[in-house]
Amino acid sequence: MIEEDTGFTSVQQLKNPRSQRQRIALISIEGDPASDNIGAGEIAGQDIYVHYVGKALAQLGWQVDIFTRKVSAEQDAIVQHSPNCRTIRFKAGPLEFIPQDNLFGYLPEFVENLLKFQKENSITYEIVHTNYWHSSWVGMQLKKIQGSKQVNTYHSLGAIEYRTIKNIPLIATQRLAIEKAILETAERIVATSPQEKQNMRLLVSTKGSIDIIPYGTDIQHFGSITREVARLLMGIDKETKVVLYVGRFDPRKGIETLVRAVNESQLRESNNLKLIIGSGSTPGNSDGLERARIEQIVNELGMGDFTTLPGLLSQEILPTYYAAADVCVVPSHYEPFGLVAIEAMASGTPVIASDVGGLKFTVVPEETGLLVPPQDVAAFASAIDRILLNPEWRDELGKAGRKRVETRFSWDVVVSQLSELYTHLLEQTVKKPPLLE
């Protein structure tokens, strides 16, 4: 929630902002919030965030333009999500996928196309909400050129990310400098958890204004199906104990820890245990290599009979998987927020997560799930058994998790806070001090 009482208008007023304040730009260059496969790839959480924030802001009365990078000639230049919300794709570099670490050199072209778009359509965005560090650089240029007010959500901090990988990319110095500059110059930074704000202060800069507004999730979509119906659809017996992982194949996601923990479970030999690893991958890419490594570990441990890897779980099918599970495990080495945790909780499924980052904010220990030290196989095994061996407690945790998401992490709650923030910043633009005589 927003930390400081800054005199924001009421939610009712926000539903009818003044016409000149209705237009807002959301910038997310690295992914594509209009993709048919939203939720896939390295920045799945960011894509979902921008997509749903845009559509929810439109329902509050804002005119929302989402800007991203076009990666193929077949993509539509404009995708209309609703009467007040659209995604606009600009060319920036070759029309092909470009790895994140190689994108920076094409950003000036993106800025040029965005300025051209504004001129051709007689638009000037008073507020731009940028996402991740490439987009934040674009926002800083718009601030310099036309005085746009900038709100930024990091989604991931280089200062932490580079601690978790062996090969630091050449762009790292540039990224860290931009992340520091945006914190010190943007009108407002949105941290998605208290832990992320703390990391910004400790690792990036003590300057700048930060508000805490978390990710959200669709509480009508997640929680729309019961465990019984979900298991019937998936052909899973009601007595089977189901452990679920959702996320990408990446060593930093801790899937190996989960696999080895399930192997140490007391239920390992019961013929009543099922592990589902829901994640997409591309053969030959880093995620494909990680999938092959995980499959090798599963086979070496003799877990193939009760472990399934169904591939990428679409947004349409995800609620069924969450509902069918007894527990969802998020064993990440680090998470700025942990979107999977609140999706599972919204589905009434308790969460076992690493005691790191934003997961310490989303999961309440002993109330909505359990937190354990990252990469601690024995601790994860013990936590999994605690929940699987106590069905009544599992149900209590699930109900408490659903209630927490309804009150703290629904899109309605989250976007109302963002809308208040934007309105407050625009009020500051309008209310200029009188000239001295």
CB 199 within 8 A of CB 334: no
Over residues 52-57, the mean pLDDT reads 94
The first and second tokens of residue 85, run together, are 């919300």
Decide if pLDDT at 287 tops 90: no
| Mean pLDDT computed over 13-36 | 71
CATH class of the structural domain 227-408: alpha beta
- Decide if 11-216+410-428 and 227-408 have a common fold: yes
Q: Which pLDDT value is given to residue 429?
A: 64
Q: For the chain, give every domain's residue range.
A: 11-216+410-428, 227-408
Give 11-216+410-428's CATH code, choosing from 3.40.640.10, 3.40.50.720, 3.40.50.2000, 3.40.50.920: 3.40.50.2000
What CA–CA distance (Å, rounded) separates 236 from 240? 7
Query: Which whole number is the average pLDDT over 175-193?
Result: 97
Least confident of 197-206, 308-317, 357-366, 422-431: 422-431
228, 238 Cβ separation under 8 angstroms: yes
Q: Distance between CA 45 and CA 131 in Å, rounded? A: 11
Cα(32)–Cα(43) distance, integer angstroms: 9
Each residue's pLDDT tens digit, 89-130: 999 999 998 988 999 999 999 999 999 999 999 999 999 999
- Is the pLDDT at 157 greater than 90? The verdict is yes
In this structure, what is the dihedral angle of CA atoms 199, 204, 206, 212, given to the nearest 10 degrees?
A: -50
At residue 34 the predicted structure's pLDDT band, cuts being 50, 70 and 90, is: confident
Q: Mean pLDDT throughout 253-270?
A: 95
pTM: 0.86
Query: Considering the chain, what is the average pLDDT of its residues?
Result: 90
Segment 49-62 shows an average pLDDT of: 94
Q: Which of 414, 417, 2 is nearest to 194 (CA)?
A: 2
Buried b or exposed e, range 222-255, using 16+ CB within 10 angstroms? bbebebeebbeebebeeeebbbbbbbbbbbebbb
CA 338 to chain centroid: 7
**CA-angle at 252, arms to 250 and 258, nearest 5°:** 85
Q: List alpha helices for 204-285, DSSP H.
A: 227-234, 255-263
% of the chain exceeding 70 in pLDDT? 91
**Order of strands, sheet of 85-90, starting from the edge strand that comes earlier in the sequence:** 78-82, 85-90, 63-69, 23-27, 127-131, 149-153, 188-191, 210-212
* Residue 281 or 360, more confident: 360
- Arithmetic mean of pLDDT, 308-333: 95
261 in Cβ contact with 381 (< 8 Å): yes
Q: Strands 85-90, 78-82: parallel, antiparallel or unpaired by DSSP?
A: antiparallel
Report whether pLDDT(43) > 90. Answer: no
